[in-house]
Structure 1
């Protein structure tokens, strides 16, 4: 088609589902409205109680919170630097065009030098120059209010809103939460240092963090690995004769079962054999520790101390789906559930045996 060339102008950007787009807009609405009202309440009759660049910041904080440009350091430091430079240029450069041009240019340089690049900060610098009499009368106080006040309020609301939606914001520094070392999967594939070395030689700044690149590359590696081997499903690997507890069992009975077997935790089912939780040995130990407390004397059944949040898999799922749980999160076993009923169990030993067999098959094919 004649208009196909227009596609070359479009960004290679994922269009989120309608629900997510609505939530992003709702977040910006709440963030701007609440931070604006609080700023007005704090600053009272100061004319510059809210500044337009916060609208641009809200796009980053609520629509793309995973962006390096949207992190708290970037927003606070970037806006502070831009505010200081903008006020300084407004005070000592009478020509407005020269003043805001130099302010934005120098702000970009300093933000990039301090790893605090935040695009809306360029507008903060311009606002300090072109904001009119009310802004100029504030002088360097403009940095504290409204710039820092607006930024902090919007940032706090963004953190709360994103956390309520289950989004990780601010972004964490690495994948391995227990150590600064690469995760077990990374040690045998692509390591964070490999990604860092490639990015070091990139002449352009990419709007994605090394952390997100690690997650994407690891996931892609899992998919590629799944294509490279004969795919086994959970039902091929699971143990059907499962040791379990009933939620009505006495805790002392549960302890007796732990004594008989070499397991650190057991699945818990109801009378219909539906999985309702898991009980770990350490939870029984903790129960004994507080047994002398009168407040805990009512606890005597498994269901009263078990963990109700359980990761499960379906019989038809490929075993590659389980690798992150056993490798990255150190699971000992994962229950296999069909129509809410416990039908089997896959342990770490089962996975090791299956993966070892696949390695032997690959070796024999070479």
Structure 2
């Protein structure tokens, strides 16, 4: 009986972990994408033929509601719709317009999309439309592939690129680079203990099924889950608790020769550059100083402005990812208005984790 109840409960929809604002943006994006596509294609094609096909509604769901899905990427919508249209038109031309031909077209379209790595669910609907849409599509023949299918897909993709990037959504989804920043064959420090990208790939291959989530997104979710579990076990240690507060620094107008003397005297390989209000302006690295030919240059001229930073109240678990996967081995700790409060190094982080582990009951 319990198994039957569990089976019946599986029909009840699971909660969706998406904010109301993102839901609203998804609806707005779909409206803009479909409206623009309809207007543009009607302007180009006029009343003489099809100017918007129904499968674009399904594409809108993917492009604007789940843009991180592998099924919603640019090659998926363009390649998936175009090759499915080719398959559908070919099946209709050679085999007719019956129901079994529509089924064959749908199956072959999926096979071709798998082979070309452009799986896009609305592609199956495009293939069926080419077979069952009737005389207008039959008369168009292979022109159906170009218009309306290819033009529809390209117009939808254009709006998706603009809309999603304006909202700072990662689109198209870019594969993360797991190479060691020091250009050695060693794995990143974060990958030397715990699961590695190779472990994740092996598990996905063993499952042998397509998951509607990008591999990098899945990896990021698992790593964030590990961080939350760590914080629950060891408590919240903040960056301000482990930082070095007595920070040696220079100002933007400090000559390089003077900065080099400070670096050598204190045996440092980097210095924060701050203004008169103690606000961080950048970091001066020893490597850049040594590579500078003119010793009369100032720190402002060669300092690194794009600097990884953290806030004083942030948990140190944030540092585990940032310091473990970049070439930097230290991170400025900022207060209000970018005022420099201290520096956290990898040594500070290791010492804090070691002390916490000793004090945590087994």
Q: The TM-score by the shorter chain falls in which range?
A: 0.7 to 0.9
Alignment equivalent of 1:279, drawn from 281, 284, 299: 284
Match of 2:169, SS state, is: coil
TM-score calculated relative to the size of structure 1: 0.81
Residue segments in structure 1 that go unaligned for 5+ positions in a row: 292-298
Match of 1:185, SS state, is: helix
Q: Determine the C-alpha separation between the residues in 2 that align with 1:116 and 1:7.
A: 30
Indicate whether 1:14 and 2:12 are aligned: no
**Pairs aligned (count):** 351
Q: Determine the C-alpha separation between the residues in 1 that align with 2:32 and 2:285.
A: 42
The equivalent residue for 1:351 is 349
Offset at 1:128?
1.2
Q: Determine the C-alpha separation between the residues in 2 that align with 1:348 and 1:37.
A: 56
Residue segments in structure 2 that go unaligned for 5+ positions in a row: 1-7
TM-score calculated relative to the size of structure 2: 0.82
Q: Determine the C-alpha separation between the residues in 2 that align with 1:114 and 1:322.
A: 40
Residue deviations 1:166-222 (CA, integer Å, cap 9, x gap): 222222334515589754323311122322333334365321232222111111112
CA contact (8 A) 2:252 2:275 kept: yes
The equivalent residue for 2:4 is none
Structure 1 residues 146, 280: closer, same or farther in 2, change over 3 A?
A: farther
Residue deviations 1:66-111 (CA, integer Å, cap 9, x gap): 1121122322232122111211232234444333233223323433
Alignment equivalent of 2:241, drawn from 228, 236, 257: 236
Match of 2:318, SS state, is: helix
CA contact (8 A) 1:82 1:125 kept: yes
The equivalent residue for 1:296 is none
Offset at 1:325?
1.1
Alignment equivalent of 2:273, drawn from 253, 264, 268: 268
Indicate whether 1:326 and 2:319 are aligned: no
The equivalent residue for 2:309 is 312
Structure 1 residues 317, 111: closer, same or farther in 2, change over 3 A?
A: same
CA contact (8 A) 2:97 2:131 kept: no
The equivalent residue for 1:336 is 333
Indicate whether 1:69 and 2:85 are aligned: no
Q: Determine the C-alpha separation between the residues in 2 that align with 1:347 and 1:269.
A: 18
Offset at 1:139?
0.8
Equivalence map 1:131-142=2 (5 Å)? 131-142=133-144
Alignment equivalent of 1:200, drawn from 205, 208, 212: 205
Structure 1 residues 34, 249: closer, same or farther in 2, change over 3 A?
A: farther
CA contact (8 A) 1:331 1:348 kept: no
Q: Determine the C-alpha separation between the residues in 2 that align with 1:228 and 1:143.
A: 57
Match of 1:117, SS state, is: coil
Q: Determine the C-alpha separation between the residues in 1 that align with 2:260 and 2:54.
A: 63
Identify the range of structure 1 (126-135 vs 213-222) with the bigger mean alpha-carbon deviation.
126-135
Offset at 1:46?
4.8
Q: Determine the C-alpha separation between the residues in 2 that align with 1:229 and 1:352.
A: 14
Structure 1 residues 181, 131: closer, same or farther in 2, change over 3 A?
A: farther
The equivalent residue for 1:166 is 168
Residue deviations 1:288-332 (CA, integer Å, cap 9, x gap): 56x7xxxxxxx9654565444444333333322211111012322
Offset at 1:138?
1.9
Match of 2:311, SS state, is: coil
Structure 1 residues 106, 225: closer, same or farther in 2, change over 3 A?
A: same
Q: Determine the C-alpha separation between the residues in 1 that align with 2:262 and 2:36.
A: 55
Q: Determine the C-alpha separation between the residues in 2 that align with 1:44 and 1:224.
A: 58
- Aligned-residue Cα RMSD (Å) equals 3.3
CA contact (8 A) 1:279 1:305 kept: yes
Indicate whether 1:129 and 2:131 are aligned: yes
CA contact (8 A) 2:190 2:320 kept: no
The equivalent residue for 2:221 is 216
CA contact (8 A) 1:40 1:49 kept: yes
Alignment equivalent of 1:188, drawn from 190, 193, 197: 193
Q: Determine the C-alpha separation between the residues in 1 that align with 2:215 and 2:192.
A: 16
Residue deviations 1:256-302 (CA, integer Å, cap 9, x gap): 4345444343222222223343334455577x56x7xxxxxxx9654
